[in-house]
Amino acid sequence: MSMVKHIGTVAGVGLAVAFVVVFFIGRTESKQLVDVAPKVGMSHEDLLAMGPRVASQTGATLGSSRRVVYLLACSGMSSRDALESQATRAGSLARKDRLTDREAVIAVLAQSSGTTGVADKLKDC
C-alpha cells in the first residue's frame, strides 16, 4: 500500500512541476506598466492607483481592474482624460457580461473609436 502512496505522491509532484513549467514557458512576453504608461501620458503610479478605484466602482476584482487599465494604456488608443472612464466601462462589462478583460477592453475601444481592428492594437499587450 505504501508503494501506491509513493507513486501517487511522485505523480502529483510531477504534475505540479509540469504545470509550473508550462505556465512560465507558455507565458507571452508582455510590456511592463512603466513601458505603457507614457502612451497615455501618465506615470505607472497613476495607472496603479487607478486599479483600486475601478474595482470599487464596478465590483470587478482588483486583478481584473488592473488588467483592464493596463490593456487600455497598452493599446495606445486611450487618452489620459478618457482612460479611467473607459476602464470603468470595461470593468463593468467584464463583470456583468462575463467577458474576459481583453474582450471588454476591445468592446469599449471599438465603441469609443468607432473603428474596427481594435484587437490588433492589443496583440502585443
Structure confidence by residue, pLDDT tens digits, 92-115? 999 999 999 999 999 999 988 877
Q: How confident is the model at residue 9 (pLDDT cuts 50, 70, 90)?
A: low
Which grid cell sits at 19? 504545470
Average pLDDT along the chain: 81
Residue 116 is predicted with a pLDDT of 74
The residues near 83 (Cβ < 8 Å, ≥ 6 apart) are: 40, 42, 50, 69, 72, 73
Residue 121 is predicted with a pLDDT of 84
| pLDDT of 48 strictly over 80 | yes
**pTM as predicted:** 0.72
Handedness of CA 98, 79, 81, 64 (dihedral sign): positive
